[in-house]
Amino acid sequence: MIIADLQDTLEGAYLALPIHGDGGKLMLATGTRLTKNVIRALRSRGYTKVVIRKSLVPNLKPSNPISHRTRLQTETALDQAANRLLTGQSPDLKQVFEAVDAIIADLWSNSGMSRGIVSIQTYDRNTYTHSINVCVLSIAIGDTLGWPLNKLRELGTAALLHDIGKILIPVDLLNKPGPLTNEEYGLMKTHCEKGWEILCECFNACEYVARGALEHHERLDGSGYPRGLTARDISDIGKITAVADVYDAMTADRPHRKAIFPETVYTHMNKCKGVLLDTAAVDALFSRVALYPTGTILSLWGGYIAVVTGQDPRSNRRPLVRIIGGPGITKPIDLALYSRPDIKINLLLKDYVPDGNRVIAGGLENVSSSSDS
pLDDT at 75 over 80: yes
Point out the least confidently predicted range of 115-129, 294-308, 329-343: 115-129
| Residue 310 burial (C-beta neighbours within 10 Å; 0-12, 13-18, 19+) | middle
What crossing angle do the helices spanning 236-251 and 207-215 adopt, rounded to 10°? 40
Amino acid 363: pLDDT = 32
DSSP-derived secondary structure letter, 118:
B
Q: Give residue 351's pLDDT band: very low, low, confident or very high (50, 70, 90).
A: low
Mean pLDDT of 24-49: 80
User: Average pLDDT in the 227-250 region?
Assistant: 97
pLDDT score recorded for residue 373: 46
Q: Given a cut of 80, is residue 219 above it in pLDDT?
A: yes
HSE (side-chain half, CA atoms, 13 Å) at 356: 6
Q: What does the pLDDT look like over 57-71, one tens digit per residue?
A: 666 766 778 888 898
**Percent of the chain whose predicted confidence (pLDDT) is above 90:** 49
Give the percent of the chain with pLDDT over 70.
85
Write the single-letter amino acid at 74.
Answer: T
Distance between CA atoms of 298 and 308, rounded to whole angstroms? 7
pLDDT in tens, 107-149: 988 755 555 678 776 665 567 889 999 999 999 999 999 999 9
DSSP 30: T
pLDDT tops 50 at residue 356: no
pTM of the predicted protein model:
0.81
pLDDT in tens, 272-285: 999 999 999 999 99
Place 263 in a pLDDT band, splitting at 50, 70 and 90. Answer: very high
The stretch 287-302 carries a mean pLDDT of 90
Q: How confident is the model at residue 318 (pLDDT cuts 50, 70, 90)?
A: very high
Which of these, 256, 262, 265, 331, lies nearest to 291 by C-alpha position?
Answer: 262
Domain 68-288 belongs in CATH node 3.30.930.10: no
User: What's the whole-number mean pLDDT along residues 306-333?
Assistant: 90
Residue 339 has pLDDT above 70, yes or no: yes
- Please determine, for residue 367, whether its predicted confidence score (pLDDT) is greater than 60: no
**How confident is the prediction for the chain on average, in pLDDT?**
85
What pLDDT was estimated at residue 126? Answer: 65
Residue at 89: amino acid letter: Q
pLDDT 10s digits, 160-217: 999 999 999 988 888 888 888 999 999 999 999 999 999 988 887 788 899 999 999 9
For range 214-241, the mean pLDDT: 97
H or E element in which residue 19 lies:
strand 19-20
**C-alpha span between 126 and 24 (Å, rounded):** 10
Element of type H or E holding 71: helix 68-86
Name which residue leads in pLDDT, 31 or 314. 314
- As a whole number of angstroms, the distance between CA 64 and CA 77 comes to 20
pLDDT grade for 13, boundaries at 50, 70 and 90: confident
